[in-house]
Chains A and B, each alone.
Chain A
Amino acid sequence: MRSDVQAIYVMWLRQVKRFIRAKSRLVGNIFQPLLFLAAFGFGFRGARFVGIPTTVSYLEFLAPGMIVMSVVFSSMFAGISVLWDRQFGFLKEVLVAPVRRISIVVGKTLGGSTIALIQGFIILAASVALGVRISALSAAACVLLTILVAFSWVGFGLAAASRMEDVHGFSLIMNLLIMPAMFLSTAFFPLEGIPEAFKLVIYANPVTYEVDAVRQVLIGVGYISLWIDLLVILGVTCFTIFTGAYLFSKCEA
């Protein structure tokens, strides 16, 4: 029991420490959403989009999308980093320790979410600095939502890592799944005026609901009922966390 609590703490602390030390990774992780935010936000400053209320600028529309994007990237990476632990041998050290696998999963999830939240918060702060108006209350609600989002993507990363042999799978997942999932959601553009076939894909994509929920909470614009968003997010989070934990408990060093 004592070592299980300690295991959660160790897995959390290790990730946070590594994150703080690897400054280049932080810069790399937040650069892309920041770039999109600044470039598109200012580039399309004067443009009008069908489906975006006239009271809301494109920058404001985009900010929640980029917050979710940075959270998705970093939490997915935290989960899938088990691949590197395996390659560098550290996974064996953890797997022979007298602690339950579930404690390791919990520690990983909390660690990954902490890092994801820090990065999401940086994007949020940057958005405010760029001129997005949000209230403290909505920021707090946004934090709660992103915790759920982070959990689900750590779980996804963990599940993926448990089924992959080596680190080469990572770029595959990143380029074929995560990047498309960002673009085929409502992160960059509104749902209005999109061909039906595309809409189907967008509705099947959990990122859509995650972005939609955060956007409603932050700037009051949304395309799906908030309750449906929450239901989908909760469902997806439970599913990926359990799948991740299950597959990880089966994996060998």
Chain B
Amino acid sequence: MGFVVEARNLTKVYEGGVLAVDHMNFEVEEGEVFGFLGPNGAGKTTTIKILVTLLKPTEGEAKVCGYDVMKKAHEVRKSIGIVFQDPALDTELTGRENLDYHARLYGLSSDVRRRRIEEVLELVELTDRADDLVKKYSGGMRRRLEIARGLMHYPKVLFLDEPTLGLDAQTRRAIWQYIRKLNKEEGMTIFLTTHYIEEADKLCDRVAIIDHGRTIALDKPSNLKDVVGRDVIYVRSSNDLRLAENLKSEGWVSEVKVGEELAIYTSFSEKRIPLIFKVAQEVGVEIESIKMKKPSLEDVYIYYTGRKMRDDEAGPVEHVRMLRGRRLS
């Protein structure tokens, strides 16, 4: 019974004073796929590093599989598997050797070891490349090998820090499939972080939206979207404030928020666009752009923070980050 992961007032202040995790509270239930969704620098990796005992929290406490991450680090380490955001393979060794060394570090007996290596290689479709040096692998193959390695010792919970960062759409979907399979067939609890809206939405049973080291919302993706309510119309205009003031009183508008763009929450949005133009014209505000959306988790993020999450597909910034990560490896 109980939760697989529990965080109470979890806080991390780095040397130099960066507040990366700010009194976070959340629980992960057994058998679920739990996701952290948040922009760059939100504190996702820092939280994971605390949970896997690589960093000490400044304040608060966390338990993994019932063990305190500070006091029972060894027990925690025995129960978890982790795929780090940055590559953590030995590229001078073969794929099989990387797996074999991992299995030994986790104390798997030799027959289990041999069988399990074949199993996980099969799962991530690397059997025929297993005896090549990892430095000859592509980025996607390395990622798949890391996932295989993370799950081979039957962890109770598998942490995946941005498992599909910088991968092409096809590889990403394949990895989603492995993750689902693991969760369903091996009953593994999965804790993943991502800043891809779609990944959080499609893959996770529950999502925590993270911003500036805080959980700003935590629920099933569908419930989160229900909070936003109906559709969203985003407007840029010559005077957002003035337009917002005048729209608030309209009966068809359920909520208006002023942020980077003006967000108007409503239903039957396609019918409302002419009405917005009409109001704008009456009060002398010029509309520069207008777009309408069915709510996604992105809109949930905007709803709570007033800002866009950005990076919702692999943009140039991210490619640079990926390259940097790879070159170091």
Q: Is A139 an interface residue (CB 8 A)?
A: no
Distance from A60 Cβ to chain B, minimum over Cβ atoms (Å): 38
Contact of B107 among A13, A98, A252 (CB under 8 A): A98
Q: Which of A1-56 contact B (CB under 8 A)?
A: 2-3, 6-7, 9-10, 13-14, 17-18, 21-22
Contact A88 B74 (CB under 8 A): no
What B residues does A21 contact at CB under 8 A?
92
Contact B88 A93 (CB under 8 A): yes
Q: Is B257 an interface residue (CB 8 A)?
A: no
Q: Is B328 an interface residue (CB 8 A)?
A: yes
Q: Is A90 an interface residue (CB 8 A)?
A: yes
Q: Which of B47-55, B123-131, B281-289, B304-312 contacts A (4 or more CB under 8 A)?
A: B47-55
Contact of B105 among A18, A88, A94, A253 (CB under 8 A): A94
What B residues does A96 contact at CB under 8 A?
52-54, 77, 80, 82
Q: Which residue of A lies closest to B89 (CB)?
A: A90
Q: Interface digits, B310-329 against A, CB 8 Å rule (1 contact, 0 not)?
A: 00000000000000000011
Q: Known: A89-B329, A92-B84, A252-B54. Is A97-B106 also a contact (CB below 8 A)?
A: yes
Contact A14 B89 (CB under 8 A): no
Contact of A97 among B55, B77, B84, B90 (CB under 8 A): B77
Distance from A249 Cβ to chain B, minimum over Cβ atoms (Å): 12
Contact A90 B90 (CB under 8 A): yes
What B residues does A225 contact at CB under 8 A?
none
Distance from A112 Cβ to chain B, minimum over Cβ atoms (Å): 16
Q: Is A99 an interface residue (CB 8 A)?
A: yes
In the bound complex, CA of A90 to CA of B88 (Å) = 4
Q: Interface digits, A72-110 against B, CB 8 Å rule (1 contact, 0 not)?
A: 000000000000000111101111111100000000000
Q: Interface digits, B96-135 against A, CB 8 Å rule (1 contact, 0 not)?
A: 0100011011110000000000000000000000000000
Q: Known: A96-B82, A97-B77, A252-B55. Is A9-B88 also a contact (CB below 8 A)?
A: no
Contact of A17 among B54, B84, B88, B97 (CB under 8 A): B97
Q: Known: A88-B87, A92-B84. Is A17-B93 also a contact (CB below 8 A)?
A: yes
What A residues does B149 contact at CB under 8 A?
93
Contact of B102 among A13, A93, A253 (CB under 8 A): A93
Contact B107 A6 (CB under 8 A): yes
Contact B329 A98 (CB under 8 A): no
Contact A87 B328 (CB under 8 A): yes
What B residues does A3 contact at CB under 8 A?
104-107
Q: Is B27 an interface residue (CB 8 A)?
A: no
Contact B92 A22 (CB under 8 A): yes
Distance from B5 Cβ to chain A, minimum over Cβ atoms (Å): 15
Contact B97 A89 (CB under 8 A): no
What B residues does A88 contact at CB under 8 A?
87-88, 90-91, 328-329
Q: Is B86 an interface residue (CB 8 A)?
A: yes
Q: Is B78 an interface residue (CB 8 A)?
A: yes
In the bound complex, CA of A10 to CA of B53 (Å) = 22
What A residues does B80 contact at CB under 8 A?
96
Contact A89 B92 (CB under 8 A): no
What B residues does A95 contact at CB under 8 A?
54
Q: Which residue of B lies closest to A3 (CB)?
A: B107
Contact B101 A10 (CB under 8 A): yes
Q: Interface digits, B263-274 against A, CB 8 Å rule (1 contact, 0 not)?
A: 000000000000
Q: Interface digits, B54-85 against A, CB 8 Å rule (1 contact, 0 not)?
A: 11000000000000000000100110101010
Contact B89 A7 (CB under 8 A): no
Distance from A25 Cβ to chain B, minimum over Cβ atoms (Å): 11
In the bound complex, CA of A99 to CA of B107 (Å) = 9
Q: Known: A95-B54, A97-B77, A252-B55. Is A89-B86 also a contact (CB below 8 A)?
A: yes
Q: Known: A96-B77, A98-B74. Is A89-B89 also a contact (CB below 8 A)?
A: yes
Q: Known: A14-B93, A87-B328, A88-B91. Is A98-B104 also a contact (CB below 8 A)?
A: no
Q: Known: A88-B329, A89-B84, A253-B54. Is A14-B105 also a contact (CB below 8 A)?
A: no
Contact B78 A98 (CB under 8 A): yes
What B residues does A18 contact at CB under 8 A?
90, 92-93
Q: Which residue of A lies closest to B105 (CB)?
A: A97
Distance from A82 Cβ to chain B, minimum over Cβ atoms (Å): 13
Distance from B20 Cβ to chain A, minimum over Cβ atoms (Å): 14
What B residues does A253 contact at CB under 8 A?
54
In the bound complex, CA of A252 to CA of B56 (Å) = 10
What A residues does B82 contact at CB under 8 A?
96
Which of B89, B90, B102, B329 gathers the greatest number of chain A CB atoms within 10 Å? B90
What B residues does A93 contact at CB under 8 A?
84, 88-89, 102, 149
What A residues does B74 contact at CB under 8 A?
98
What B residues does A10 contact at CB under 8 A?
101, 104-105
Q: Known: A10-B104, A14-B93, A98-B107. Is A89-B78 also a contact (CB below 8 A)?
A: no
Distance from B86 Cβ to chain A, minimum over Cβ atoms (Å): 5
- Further 9 A-B residue pairs, CB within 8 A, beyond A22-B92, A95-B54, A97-B102: A3-B105, A14-B93, A17-B92, A18-B92, A88-B87, A89-B86, A89-B87, A89-B89, A93-B149
Query: Would you list 9 pairs from A and B whose C-beta atoms are within 8 A, ordered by A residue?
Result: A6-B107, A7-B104, A13-B101, A89-B89, A93-B84, A93-B88, A96-B54, A96-B80, A96-B82
